[in-house]
Structure 1
């Protein structure tokens, strides 16, 4: 005797034989009608969201849908050539930046905030909304990025913020499941000054070269040599950094980023002769030359070198990403848990001066290259969007479980400059993706 069965639901007991009148075949309502009803219901729901809910709720509901459209169809509403991403605001978008596990893509330990025990992850729930009407910054798409740089060598040259962005790019690609291999990296696993990843399905390589002045330099910026006077940086403005220049002829896309180290101070040379300094207390004030002119010289040397040789390159200069060292104790330096609201925080005068410097050098390089000649030079302006993200830094979570043994120790530094990975720096690469998709 067969086992007991649950009785059928009365609505399920419909005649399905061919003799049934009306040919319903088990459906109360024809399928086309059902489809129209569902579409109507969705349309009414979206209309309700748009008309009858606060803007914050609208963003939370619609962002996942728009992100899905971006990821699936690589769609940009106003086209990659017409959007200005410089001005805008951070809008709530649950899950937008939760795209990879930093441990799996081998980021620097001090930027792996989740692994280090940071308990709040709300900093991953925001996206950058450009201010221009009808303009939206699409979420990063590994497929779109790799298609834009197929067969190319993408090189990041500069300081630790350049490394932060370079590691973000690798993680966005690895996190999307793109096959990869490590071509080389520093022998010391604690150093991340020189490395390269290959993505063979598209013939793409991504490299990072630590060169905090772009020009040839020795001192703290290079190796932390305490035997130098006041651990000072010595920068030669007649030569570029040897390591990245050795590979320059292999580079197709170069992202340059220096800003913080020239502000710190250095002694500058030309043909081994000292020509001045910035912020060195033991040298004559009459030799003070500031930071702006040396930066201009370094950028100009790099842009001229990358515009030579006839190789069709794209050179992108990233603007300053400011820090948020706003408190006076370890636990209050960068404690905010949300972005600044629009108009709540603006870049300082010095920061904007550095932004103008980048635009001026980019424009001067275009003029030197002439129409269609030399490298294509673009600006990746991240200063405004970075200023508004005090919540995305590691802070004390640059250390593993800093509160595990009676709280942070006096020797522990707090990182309020670099960004957690994943984090706001991923947005830099979303904008970079749009720059690289734009026609020359």
Structure 2
């Protein structure tokens, strides 16, 4: 008989996962049982500062009171109708999200990958119905080293062989160009191009920030060439970089915006395609859908997330605390850090491989009570909740300094 979870140790629970869970993740050996704000606690009661924030899904920290209240309130009323019927929470969510982003219409979905898949479908439909691309010939231009999700279509245009190997045959219709290269992008766009799909900052690749002017250049090129600019802000959006959207650093408004992660407040999966009316207007009943997309619980939590962002508080915090993060990492360059890239409360840190891999550094930080996640090679990512205090942030930087020494 299986023992109740509360009587099992972290080691017991980690061992128990092996035979019954697919091995598609390689987590750090910590078993989180409780969390609040910027802190998590394991089964034995050890506390850790969360410097990953669920890859930005927890921008507002664990169990933010306003978001928990919104969820509790909605749980007592209505959780799901499917889109076979209207619900009383969806209109406000869509209205406020459209206003926050400066766009017109919202297509609610659940996961980030669903938002990307939906954005691809919308772009192709727009290409055929509006641009006049011959049926079956629409192309989408993407950037190398991208990360947009793990569905079969999305991995079809990934350059990460770990994500691709063994999952073919792949979906055609994509052209891959180097990131941050406007000349290559110009050469790839032609009369069949429905859209250019890029991350304003490449997260999984190591928080890769393009040169100043790149995003504005993408916007100008797509407008001139008559195709859509789709910005995947699933990780970079909703306050993470010090602006509501990362594209705002160059005063750019894309045609289509993909959102997720933080939109669900760390409570439920919520994603959305937000776009100009003439783009999302190509969808008609029966052409696309999702049983859970736009459910009342998700809409209630999503509306509460938008309310938090409407104040500007979290964008300001990311900007101000981002200075502490940048300055602290600058002091570590040459002392175990080879270099880093940061914007707001988001950084990719390249550790000297002589000190260890990203995984090894992450494990050492875990033992110091700080949780981060490695990416390629010896790079680690730092993306704490936007609710973190200056003292907590300096403490995490101090722990990094210690493990690098």
TM-score, normalised to structure 2's length?
0.25
